[in-house]
Amino acid sequence: GASVYVTRKGGTIVTCASTSGYQHTYDNRYLWMSLKRIIGSHFANYREAWEANRLIAKGKIPPPLSKTYPLEETGQAAHDVQRNLHQGKVGILALAPQEGLGIRNQEKRAQHIDAINRFRETDK
């Protein structure tokens, strides 16, 4: 809503991933009367997304994991990300007692474990 209000006349609001929630509320008069527009965006088209997934699967783009937090520490994880206290990805164990339970291909993970743990404070 705030974006629709503050965007200049004739301006464009770009939304991607709806990280602030999927229900957006705004006063349509600010959009319609000021000739503003809202467009949705993705990081890639279908072919680019397919290629990115292929490169990840081949280990060309490693998913380094800085730290994994238990569900109870989600607030701390968000704080650490907001303060840029991490390198790589941050994981939350949601309904999982330990890491690694969602791994479908253990052999492939073992091939890339050094890249995954590159930014870890301690080995896991």
For residue 122, name the pLDDT band (cuts at 50, 70, 90): low
Question: Is the overall model pTM greater than 0.75, yes or no?
Answer: no
**Average pLDDT for 55-83:** 89
Q: What confidence score (pLDDT) does residue 77 get?
A: 93
Residues 32 and 78 in one domain: no
Instruction: Examine the domain organization and report whether 25 and 69 are in the same domain.
Output: no
Q: Is the pLDDT of residue 71 over 70?
A: yes
Ramachandran angles phi, psi of 71, nearest 5°: -55, -35
Note the pLDDT of residue 1. 81
Mean pLDDT of all residues belonging to the chain: 85
52-65 per-position pLDDT tens digit: 889 988 888 887 88
Domain assignment present for residue 124? The answer is no
Query: Domain containing 86: what range?
Result: 61-116
In a domain, 45, yes or no: no
Q: Average pLDDT in the 99-116 region? A: 86
Q: Are residues 35 and 67 in the same domain?
A: no
Share of residues in the chain with pLDDT > 70 (%): 94
- Which residues, 6 or more positions from 62, have their beta carbon under 8 angstroms from its beta carbon? 112, 115, 116, 118
112 and 65 inside one domain: yes
- The answer to whether residue 91 sits within a structural domain is yes
Three-state SS string over 89-120 comes to: EEEEECCCCCCCCCCCCHHHHHHCHHHHCCCC
Find all residues with CB under 8 Å of 77, minimum gap 6, and list them.
67, 69, 90, 92
> Is 89 within the bounds of a domain?
yes
Look at the chain and report how many structural domains it folds into. Answer: 2
Q: Are residues 65 and 36 in the same domain?
A: no
Task: Render pLDDT for 16-67 as a digit per residue (tens, 0 to 9).
Answer: 766 666 777 888 998 889 999 988 877 788 899 899 889 988 888 887 888 9
Measured distance CA(87)–CA(118) in Å, rounded: 9
Q: How many residues does the chain have?
A: 124
**One domain, residues 112 and 66:** yes
Residues paired with 39 in a beta bridge: 14
